[in-house]
Chains A and B, each alone.
Chain A
């Protein structure tokens, strides 16, 4: 038989293919993080300006849980391709989202107030 293994596809658990425990652990973490998110959004227990940061942290943590336990992305050497592609995707997404917010708030900040703008057009 030819040597066939050349890295791993994402979503395949390389060690154990019949691993219900992994999914259940992932489900547990995801449930805790989801409930924490909904709690953080409604509670007055947390200092209000800190809530968006807390929500972002919980969301990123939950995305990590989903990647690790459901998509089985890991840092194993044979997963280098998957991980590099993921890193590039995250990088581009970050550029698009934060770049857009940065540029648009900057433009908004420098825009003339609307009533003055309307006067110029007359």
Chain B
């Protein structure tokens, strides 16, 4: 890797016009970063809808009555831990260590499944108690925001399975590691969105809504 480092320092002082095209990993990473930011803007719209509608309970249950903080804490820990294990997995990919990669990414997958299970149970119990998305504007906004995040996590898990299969069949080819690297960006970004969700939706519920 030292030659790469030298090339890096060499190119820094070079006029822009003389530098070659950026390597595929940088281009793919930057493009995916732009996608993630646009995805976060989608979430921003859902957050805005939730902030505006969180008081419109239409006589139904409010957030403070519905949410269980210990369960949310458990969900938060699952996602945070999975973010870190995903980071360890990316390091294993960089070292081309397949065994460590399978272990860390397997743990990441299981933590993601734990998160989705807890969230699914919460949704099911809310719908069973008559607090489904059709009950009030507050609940519609809640299910739209938290449900979209959960949907992203489900998509991430499917993507992770596909990536593990690609490593199994194709090995650590540049295109595979590049995709895996985009997956890890996606997974970390979902954790950042979850910080907003647990702060605004779950912890903001009992101290009065802002909107």
Main SS class of interface, A = helix
In the complex, the answer to whether B29 meets A6 with C-beta atoms within 8 Å is no
B113 within 8 A of A: no
A18 engages B91 (CB within 8 Å): yes
Is the C-beta of B20 less than 8 angstroms from some C-beta in chain A?
Answer: yes
Query: Which A-chain residue is minimally distant from B202 (CB atoms)?
Result: A41
In the complex, chain B residues whose CB is within 8 Å of the CB of A100: 48-49, 51-52
Residues of A within 8 A of B1 (CB): 17
Residue of A nearest to B191 (CB): A66
Instruction: Find chain B residues with CB under 8 A from A101 CB.
Output: 48, 51-52, 210-211
Q: Chain A residues with Cβ under 8 A from B45's Cβ? A: 96
Shortest Cβ distance from residue A50 to the other chain B in the assembled complex, whole angstroms? 10
B210 and A51 contact, CB distance less than 8 A: no
Q: Pick the interface stretch among B30-38, B120-128, B152-160, B168-176.
A: B30-38
Which A residues touch B73, using CB under 8 A? 34, 38
Interface SS majority for chain B:
helix
Q: Determine whether the beta carbon of B8 is less than 8 Å from that of A12.
A: no
Interface residue ranges of A98-112 to B (CB < 8 Å): 99-101, 104-105
Q: Which of B175-192 contact A (CB under 8 A)?
A: 181, 184-185, 188-189, 191-192
Do residues A7 and B22 form an inter-chain contact, with CB atoms below 8 A?
Answer: yes
Nearest CB of chain A from residue B41's CB, rounded to whole Å: 5
* Contact A55/B40 with A70-B191, A97-B47 known, Cβ cut-off 8 Å: no
Residues of B near A23 (CB, < 8 A) are: 84, 87-88
Binary interface encoding of chain A residues 48-77 relative to chain B, with 1 for a CB under 8 A from any of its CBs, else 0? 100110011011001100110011000001
| B207 and A96 contacting across the interface, CB-CB below 8 Å | no
CA distance A45 to B46 in the complex (A): 32
**Closest partner residue, chain B, to A62 (CB atom):** B195
Nearest CB in chain B: distance from A109 CB, A? 12
Per-residue contact bits, chain B 1-26, to A (CB 8 Å; 1 contact, 0 not): 10110011011101000011111011
A–B Cβ pairs within 8 angstroms, 20 of them: A2-B20, A5-B11, A6-B19, A23-B84, A24-B84, A27-B84, A34-B73, A37-B203, A38-B69, A41-B69, A41-B204, A63-B195, A66-B192, A70-B191, A85-B34, A86-B37, A93-B43, A96-B45, A100-B51, A101-B210
Which 6 A-B residue pairs are closest in the complex by CB-CB distance?
A9-B29, A89-B37, A6-B22, A93-B44, A100-B48, A41-B203
